[in-house]
């Protein structure tokens, strides 16, 4: 089975083509450039570079977030459209779960996160077990400070993986002084990991129903809901 | 340039709050036109919320495309090109359509034709009446108020545009002041039809030779008047305010359009965009064009509001003219129509 993996959910943009046993090719960039301009050409290039055609792709794996709203939408729209129109299976993968895979060989808790501004992060809790990184506490949007307090209770060593470490490293050291900070090479989510995860998942029954996982309402929606509550 | 070559275009539109796909033959025959509107969703916010709109586009995009292909009863090999709104519009919303269209173009190895949203509104007319050149198009919607002169197909010269609010925007804001629901156009139109235009609101004519528009002064005048009346506890006739406001807008729109039509000796006047659904505007334009002896074309309501058939119709011309985009195409919220001119 050939899987095409797509991730434009955060600053890192990645595309990969894998079989069950081999990563045939992977393109990753970690620069502030426009995903809308670059993602589709990257998909075309990776498929061509590994000497395949779209016909030979069986399944499409896509990072569904959390992350940049616009970034997530670009990846999900392209993945859904390709899957629908070219009759491919599709699997959505959490962007945090994808990043957590980089902690596979860490003996302890794995905490991937993306900065969500004003002290908040998108994050989740993962752990490596029997050669698999499993989710222990589901993905969420939370204040980093509260999250660290919670992690402290676990009394286990914690590995933090993120390209946004610089924004949060001070508070991490303050609350969890013994935690491990991921080296640069481990902080880019890798599309080949997304492909790997997608091999083991059931594809979505209906491609139309694949939606981004924003983990946060649009601002106007939460304000509107707040108003309704206040009215009561 | 040969604009007679047969073609079938899949059009895609996601620039604001409608997710739409359509199949159009030869730029004139609608094979299918599917629109998933979000009006009900945005009503509670009192206007279109860009992030909410973008989220709904992602949910609806493939559904709408599937339905358009199915209803048109075409196979992918029958389709000559994919036309997509590149701009102007809400950037987050545009990006869904643009990236979806690129994926389709890549998957089926079809030419990708970028389309200007306003060109789409103009070419909506071609789905009803063949265009006669030279023509003058008045585009009035929530985002636009423009006068565009066309010498021939795909020749766009903006001779006038709004310097502040779009006409539709003024309608929405005045409607809100009168406690009418969003979108404001239909509510004002309805009240205006039973009210009397007995209040003298300002009309911004600007410089004598200018075809530009300005509606912010008028909008403020209406809002101030309603506000002052409320403060003094006076009852005001919403009907008369609506009628007077509408008359003020129409006076300027109609007068400037007719003046330009005569100066440019046009063979046809086209009115398009969401506000062209307004009965007041339709009646006034019909009367003025009748008096001037210039044929008028206004597409039916469902082609006035945003749809993808109009994008496919404009895309047909763009396709034959040779407009092409590659897979690096990006949405452009402030795209200029002159870029698409021959
Ligand atoms: Zn429009």
Q: How would you write the pLDDT of chain A (232 residues) with one tens digit per residue?
A: 999 999 999 999 999 999 999 999 999 999 999 999 999 999 999 999 999 999 999 999 999 999 999 999 999 999 999 999 999 999 999 999 999 999 999 999 999 999 999 999 999 999 999 889 999 999 999 999 999 999 999 989 999 999 999 999 999 999 999 999 999 999 999 999 999 999 999 999 999 999 999 999 999 998 999 888 887 6
Q: Is there a single domain that holds both residue A146 and residue A109?
A: yes
Residues bordering ligand 1, an ion, CB closer than 5 Å = B 141, 306
List chain A residues with CB under 8 Å of B100.
77-78, 81
CB A75 within 8 A of CB A69: no
Tokens 């999250």 sit on residue: A147
Q: Is residue A227 part of a domain?
A: no
Q: Is residue A232 part of a domain?
A: no
Domain that holds residue A212: 2-94+189-222
What does the block give as tokens for B213?
């528009």
> Are A54 and B108 inside 8 Å of each other by CB?
no
Give the closest of B51, B54, B66 to A219, CB-based. Answer: B51
> Are A220 and B52 inside 8 Å of each other by CB?
yes
Q: Is there a single domain that holds both residue A14 and residue A46?
A: yes
> Are B51 and A44 inside 8 Å of each other by CB?
no
Beta bridge partners of B83: B11, B113
**How many Cα atoms occupy the beta-carbon half-sphere of A65 within 13 Å?**
22
Q: Is there a single domain that holds both residue A110 and residue A139?
A: yes
User: CA torsion, points A15, A20, A21, A24, in degrees to nearest 10?
Assistant: -30
Q: Is residue A170 part of a domain?
A: yes
Q: Is residue A228 part of a domain?
A: no
Q: Which residue, among B272, B172, B269, B259, has the nearest Cα to B215 in the 3D structure?
A: B172
Q: Could you say which residues of chain B have pLDDT below 70? A: none
Q: Is the ipTM of this complex over 0.90?
A: yes
Give the CATH number, domain containing residue A174: 3.30.420.40
> How many structural domains is chain A composed of?
2
Q: What is the pLDDT of residue A131?
A: 87
Q: Is there a single domain that holds both residue A12 and residue A40?
A: yes
Burial class (CB within 10 angstroms; exposed 0-12, middle 13-18, buried 19+) of B53: buried
User: CA torsion, points B40, B41, B47, B51, in degrees to nearest 10?
Assistant: -160
Domain B132-298 has CATH 3.30.428.10: no
> Are B99 and A221 inside 8 Å of each other by CB?
no
Q: Which residues contact B290 (CB under 8 A, 6 or more apart)?
A: B296
CATH class of the structural domain B8-123+303-340: alpha beta
Q: For chain B, what are the domain ranges?
A: 8-123+303-340, 132-298
List chain B residues with CB under 8 Å of A53.
none
Tell me if residue B140 falls in helix, strand or coil.
Answer: strand
List chain B residues with CB under 8 Å of A40.
99, 102-103, 106, 327-328
Q: How far is it, in rounded angstroms, from Cα A63 to Cα A90?
A: 11
Q: Is there a single domain that holds both residue A53 and residue A166?
A: no
Q: What is the pLDDT of residue A232?
A: 67
């Amino acid at each position: 089975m050939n899987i095409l993996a797509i991730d434009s959910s955060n600053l890192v943009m990645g595309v990969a083509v894998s079989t069950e046993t081999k990563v045939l090719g992977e393109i990753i960039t970690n620069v502030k450039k426009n995903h809308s301009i670059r993602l589709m050409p990257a998909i075309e290039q990776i498929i061509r570079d590994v000497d395949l055609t779209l016909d030979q792709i069986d399944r499409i794996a896509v990072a569904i977030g959390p992350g940049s709203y616009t970034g997530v939408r670009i990846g999900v729209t392209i993945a859904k459209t390709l899957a629908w129109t070219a009759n491919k299976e599709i699997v959505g993968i959490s962007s945090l779960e994808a990043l957590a895979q980089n902690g596979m060989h860490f003996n302890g808790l794995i905490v991937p996160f993306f900065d969500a501004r004003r002290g908040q992060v998108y994050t989740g809790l993962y752990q490596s077990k029997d050669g698999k990184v499993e989710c222990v506490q589901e993905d969420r949007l939370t204040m980093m400070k509260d999250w660290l307090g919670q992690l402290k209770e676990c009394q286990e060593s914690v590995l933090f993986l993120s390209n946004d470490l610089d924004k949060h490293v001070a508070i991490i050291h303050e609350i969890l002084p013994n935690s491990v900070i991921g080296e640069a090479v481990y902080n880019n989510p890798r599309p080949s990991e997304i492909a790997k995860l997608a091999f083991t998942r059931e594809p979505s029954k209906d491609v139309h129903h694949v939606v981004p996982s924003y983990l946060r309402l649009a601002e106007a929606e939460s304000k509107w809901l707040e108003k309704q509550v206040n009215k009561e | 340039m040969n604009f007679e070559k047969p073609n079938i275009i899949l059009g895609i539109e996601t620039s604001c709050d409608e997710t739409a796909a359509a199949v159009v033959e030869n730029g004139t025959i609608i094979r299918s036109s599917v629109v998933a509107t979000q009006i009900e969703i945005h009503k509670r916010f009192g206007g279109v919320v860009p992030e909410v709109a973008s989220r709904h586009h992602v949910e609806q995009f493939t559904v709408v495309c599937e339905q358009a292909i199915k209803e048109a009863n075409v196979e992918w090999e029958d389709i000559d090109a994919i036309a997509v709104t590149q701009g102007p519009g809400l950037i987050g919303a545009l990006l869904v359509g643009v990236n979806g269209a690129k994926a389709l173009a890549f998957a089926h190895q079809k030419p990708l034709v970028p389309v200007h949203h306003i060109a789409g509104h103009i070419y909506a007319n071609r789905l009803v009446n063949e265009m006669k050149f030279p023509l003058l198009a008045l585009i009035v919607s929530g985002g636009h108020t423009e006068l565009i002169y066309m010498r021939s197909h795909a020749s766009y010269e903006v001779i006038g545009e709004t310097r502040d609010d779009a006409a539709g925007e003024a309608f929405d804001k005045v409607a809100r002041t009168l406690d009418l629901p969003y979108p404001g156009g239909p509510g004002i139109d309805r009240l205006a039809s039973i009210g009397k235009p007995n209040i003298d609101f300002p009309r911004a004519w600007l410089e004598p030779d200018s075809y530009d528009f300005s509606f912010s002064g008028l909008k403020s005048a209406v809002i101030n008047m309603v506000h002052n009346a409320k403060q003094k506890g006076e009852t005001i006739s919403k009907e008369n305010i609506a009628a007077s406001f509408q008359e003020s807008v129409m006076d300027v729109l109609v007068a400037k359009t007719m003046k330009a039509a005569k100066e440019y000796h046009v063979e046809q006047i086209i009115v398009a965009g969401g506000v062209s659904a307004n009965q007041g505007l339709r009646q006034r334009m019909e009367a003025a064009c009748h008096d001037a002896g210039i044929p008028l074309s206004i597409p039916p309501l469902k082609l006035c509001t945003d749809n993808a058939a109009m994008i496919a119709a404009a895309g047909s011309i763009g396709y034959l003219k040779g407009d092409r985009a590659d897979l690096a195409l990006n949405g452009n919220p402030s795209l200029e129509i002159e870029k698409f001119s021959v």
